Structure 1
Amino acid sequence: MTLFWRIFLLNAAVLISATVLVLLGPVTVSTPVLLTESVIVLAGLVAVLVTNAVLLRVGLAPMDRLTRAMITTDLLRPGPRPTVSGHGGIADLIRTFNAMLDRLEAERGESAARALSAQEDERRRIAQELHDEVGQTLTAVLLELKRVADHAQPPVRDELRQVQEITRGSLDEIRRIARRLRPGVLAELGLTSALKALAAEMSGHNGLTVRRRFDKDLPGLGEDAELVVYRVAQESLTNTARHAGATTVELSLTRSENGVELRISDDGRGLGDAREGAGVRGMRERALLIGAELDLGTRPGGGTAVRLRIPLHGKGN
Structure 2
Amino acid sequence: MSLFWRIFLLNSVVLVLVTGLLLGPVTVSSPVLPGEAALLVAGLAVVLGVNAFVLRIGLVPLQRLSRAMATVDLLHPGRRPSVTGPPEMADLITTYNAMVDRLERERALSAGRALTAQEGERHRVARELHDEVGQTLTAVLLQLKRLADRSPAALRGEARQAQEATRSSLDEIRRIARQLRPGVLDELGLASALRALAAEFTGHGLTARLESRGPLPLLADDVELVVYRVAQEALTNVARHAGADRVTLSVRATDHGTELLIHDNGKGIGPAEEGAGIRGMRERALLIGASLTLESSEGRGTRVRLWIPSGPASITRRSDEAHV
Residue of structure 1 equivalent to 2:173: 174
Structure 2, gaps ≥5 residues long:
316-324
CA contact (8 A) 2:193 2:228 kept: yes
Q: 1:299 to 1:186 in 2, by over 3 A?
A: farther
Asked whether 1:261 is paired with 2:259, we answer: yes
Q: State the Cα distance separating 1:38 from its structure 2 match.
A: 2.3
Residue of structure 2 equivalent to 1:48: 47
Provide the C-alpha distance between the structure 1 equivalents of 2:179 and 2:80, rounded to a whole number of angstroms.
39
Match of 1:207, SS state, is coil
- Please list the CA deviations of residues 99-143 of structure 1 after superposition, one character each: whole Å capped at 9, or x if unmatched: 101110111111011000000000000000100111011101101
Residue of structure 2 equivalent to 1:80: 79
CA contact (8 A) 1:224 1:316 kept: no
CA contact (8 A) 1:250 1:265 kept: yes
Match of 2:289, SS state, is coil
Provide the C-alpha distance between the structure 1 equivalents of 2:12 and 2:295, rounded to a whole number of angstroms.
53
Provide the C-alpha distance between the structure 1 equivalents of 2:49 and 2:161, rounded to a whole number of angstroms.
88
Q: 1:94 to 1:316 in 2, by over 3 A?
A: farther
Residue of structure 2 equivalent to 1:195: 194
Instruction: Give the AA of the match of 2:267.
Output: R
Q: State the Cα distance separating 1:270 from its structure 2 match.
A: 1.1
Provide the C-alpha distance between the structure 2 equivalents of 1:299 and 1:258, rounded to a whole number of angstroms.
28
Q: 1:166 to 1:25 in 2, by over 3 A?
A: farther
Q: Give the alignment's TM-score, normalised by structure 2.
A: 0.91
Residue of structure 1 equivalent to 2:161: 162
CA contact (8 A) 1:260 1:311 kept: yes
Provide the C-alpha distance between the structure 2 equivalents of 1:25 and 1:251, rounded to a whole number of angstroms.
83
Residue of structure 2 equivalent to 1:313: 311
Asked whether 1:59 is paired with 2:58, we answer: yes
- Please list the CA deviations of residues 238-287 of structure 1 after superposition, one character each: whole Å capped at 9, or x if unmatched: 11101111111111111245211111111112111222121111110110
CA contact (8 A) 2:72 2:79 kept: no
Residue of structure 2 equivalent to 1:303: 301
Q: 1:30 to 1:296 in 2, by over 3 A?
A: same
Q: State the Cα distance separating 1:24 from its structure 2 match.
A: 4.3
Residue of structure 2 equivalent to 1:91: 90
Paired residues for 1:260-299 under 5 Å:
260-299=258-297
Residue of structure 2 equivalent to 1:28: 27
- Please list the CA deviations of residues 280-302 of structure 1 after superposition, one character each: whole Å capped at 9, or x if unmatched: 11110110011111011215842
Residue of structure 1 equivalent to 2:150: 151
Instruction: Give the AA of the match of 1:246.
Output: A
Instruction: Give the AA of the match of 1:186.
Output: L
Q: 1:263 to 1:28 in 2, by over 3 A?
A: same
CA contact (8 A) 2:7 2:54 kept: no
Q: State the Cα distance separating 1:7 from its structure 2 match.
A: 6.4
Match of 2:47, SS state, is helix
Instruction: Give the AA of the match of 2:230.
Output: V
Q: State the Cα distance separating 1:229 from its structure 2 match.
A: 0.5
CA contact (8 A) 1:10 1:55 kept: no
Q: 1:122 to 1:78 in 2, by over 3 A?
A: same
Give me the CA root mean square deviation. Answer: 1.9
Provide the C-alpha distance between the structure 2 equivalents of 1:70 and 1:279, rounded to a whole number of angstroms.
25
Residue of structure 1 equivalent to 2:318: none
Match of 1:296, SS state, is strand
Instruction: Give the AA of the match of 1:184.
Output: G
Q: Give the alignment's TM-score, normalised by structure 1.
A: 0.93
Instruction: Give the AA of the match of 1:264.
Output: I
Provide the C-alpha distance between the structure 1 equivalents of 2:11 and 2:274, rounded to a whole number of angstroms.
51
Q: Which range is displaced more, 114-123 or 82-91? A: 82-91
